[in-house]
Structure 1
Amino acid sequence: MSTFSRRTLFASGAGLAALTLAACGGDDTALEEKDGVTTIRIAATPVPHMAILTFVKDNLAADAGLELDLQEQTEYPIPNRLLNDGEVDANFFQHKPYLDTEIEENGYELTALEPVHLEPLGIYSDSLSSLDDLADGDEIGVPNDPSNRGRALALLAEQGLFTLTEGIEPTDATKDDIVDNPKSLNLSEIDPALLPRTKGDFAAAVINGNYALEADLKPAEDALVLESPDGNPYANLLAIRTADVENSALKKLEELMHSEDVRTFIEDTYAGGVIPAF
């Protein structure tokens, strides 16, 4: 996950009130309630996160006494800052390894809820029909943020393209951990949001599932290789402030996100390009 090329800062309609409410922490009064309906402000990236949340908003939220105020973001670091600062009540765009990195680097007091879906990382190419066609010295584009860079390296290593340092965690892997590279492949670290439209510059590119979908790629059909969902730690999830873990409205939202209705929506809409993780 990454720093996006487009920089979109959404305005918080709550203004100073949002900061005051944030100080209430886990108390249910921290979220705005009116006439028995609690409004939850959620920052999310476009695909598939906003689509899933919109489905919940339009079909499930009202019966649970919730109103979802969905605020689209296109730059990954911003939703965690907004959440930590109390300008939104939850965000939906990331996997736990990315959140853990953000917490470590910024001192955020945020908590990951249970996984909702996996966007399989895939290897795509405009020129190759198989990874067997890679030539000596070919260049492969990979995401430049630490958690997804290591994830991409692990996926490439699983295909036998090179070997990584024994025991290295995928979230920690860098190009320096490549210990055997028989085809002398070159890796170029690129903003992951740019990889779908620049993949033609490389023999192959490792692209996050959400960016592939935004670029109208069909991961289940277009990728040479897709990550397996089995035991995959990179499922995306809702994050909230740690002080709000007992908030009843957020617990209701968590239940809705793991409902059979949401599972069916994901399976019917994305046909394997996004996979339920519950």
Structure 2
Amino acid sequence: MTDQISPPSGSGLDIEIKKKKRWPWIAAAAVVVLAVAGGISYAQFSNKDKPFGTNLPVATWSTDIAAENLLSYIATNIAPDHGITIEPVKIDNLIEINRAVDAGTVAGNFFEHQPFLNDAIAANGFQLTLAAPTFTWDQATYSDKYRSWDQVPSGAKIALRDDPAGQAIALLDLAHDQQITLKPGKDTLAGLPQLDDIATNPKNYQFVQVPIGQLARSLADVDAVVVHISDVYAAGLTEEQILAREPAPKGSEGGLVVSNKHIDDPNVQKLIDTFKDPRIAEFLETTDNKLIRDTLGPIS
């Protein structure tokens, strides 16, 4: 069910917004964490005061297979030169992946950018730091109906993520493509623009907010979806469905997140140095791994 929001006079806005839900950082969540190897489960428990050894578990979100592949490369080719072993772990819950780092269950995670992390910290009081920005996510607009913005008609339905950080990046993508303009002070990621920060919407697009895990499926019901490519790659969306590619906004770099409580741990410092190794950027620029090449990029 959706609510129609009356646009400001003369703005040309026609915004379709789902009934407000509290962003799930605040909701109760399952606390099962899945490891890559052997189906091991990590119960939610505190390890806050225990230092890490040289074997360091690092978590990725279970559906971000591009970050998972990049983590595997780093674990195999970079970490040994820094005197540590990275144990990749997959966690299938966007709250628990940060909670696991905060509790010391894992040494870090590798799946988010600063605006997304800010939401988690504000809602849960986590003490976390993006210690080593490592890559950018390629952005794209997908459509099954149109091959360019010129073909997209007035009143078209455009889907974007319903979380504040994901929504902000999608709106900046649309502004980059000159499909909308944003209010002054809301035209950078630091401004965290949301739907009510749209200043002009010349083609009267209807914007539909969709949870991250449903974006790929929503394409059949809308005219276009604006998203991180890695959010929908695993669901089978293809290059042929991309209407436009957009650059990652400054400030949306992804990388290694660690707990403030462990940031001075000598082995966590080795982990941070690993993710700052310049060979990672070189790999992102030259890899033949199509999954990584088509979805992630180096930080310029």
Q: TM-score, normalised by structure 1?
A: 0.83
Distance in 2 of aligned mates of 1:102 and 1:111: 11
Provide the residue aligned with 2:124 in structure 1.
106
Q: Does 1:40 align with 2:40?
A: no
Provide the residue aligned with 2:12 in structure 1.
none
**Which residues in structure 2 correspond to 1:48-127 (within 5 Å)?**
48-127=66-145
AA of the residue aligned to 1:49: A
For each residue in 1:79-126, what CA deviation from the matched residue of structure 2 results, as whole angstroms up to 9, or x when unmatched?
111111221111111001111121122111111112111112211111
Distance in 2 of aligned mates of 1:198 and 1:15: 33
Distance in 2 of aligned mates of 1:145 and 1:241: 23
Percent sequence identity is 23
Report the count of equivalent residues: 262
RMSD: 2.7
Provide the residue aligned with 1:10 in structure 2.
33
Provide the residue aligned with 2:296 in structure 1.
274
Distance 1:167 1:15, change over 3 A: closer
Describe the SS at the equivalent of 1:43. Answer: strand
Provide the residue aligned with 2:155 in structure 1.
137
Describe the SS at the equivalent of 1:115. Answer: strand
Provide the residue aligned with 1:187 in structure 2.
207
Provide the residue aligned with 1:210 in structure 2.
230
For each residue in 1:213-255, what CA deviation from the matched residue of structure 2 results, as whole angstroms up to 9, or x when unmatched?
3234456x753222324x6211101111112222222222222
AA of the residue aligned to 1:205: V
Describe the SS at the equivalent of 1:193. Answer: helix
1:224 to 238, 243, 249: 243
Provide the residue aligned with 2:48 in structure 1.
22
Distance 1:227 1:75, change over 3 A: farther
Distance in 1 of aligned mates of 2:60 and 2:131: 15
Distance in 1 of aligned mates of 2:185 and 2:196: 14
Distance in 1 of aligned mates of 2:71 and 2:180: 39
CA contact (8 A) 1:218 1:273 kept: no
For each residue in 1:162-216, what CA deviation from the matched residue of structure 2 results, as whole angstroms up to 9, or x when unmatched?
2222212545322222232221110000012221232122111012222233234
Q: Does 1:150 align with 2:168?
A: yes
Distance in 1 of aligned mates of 2:268 and 2:241: 37
2:255 to 237, 248, 267: 237
Instruction: Report deviation, 1:75.
Output: 2.6
Larger relative helix fraction: 1
Distance in 2 of aligned mates of 1:180 and 1:276: 32
Distance 1:54 1:224, change over 3 A: same
CA contact (8 A) 2:147 2:242 kept: no
Unmatched runs of 5 consecutive residues or more in structure 1: 25-29
Provide the residue aligned with 2:16 in structure 1.
none
Describe the SS at the equivalent of 2:33. Answer: coil
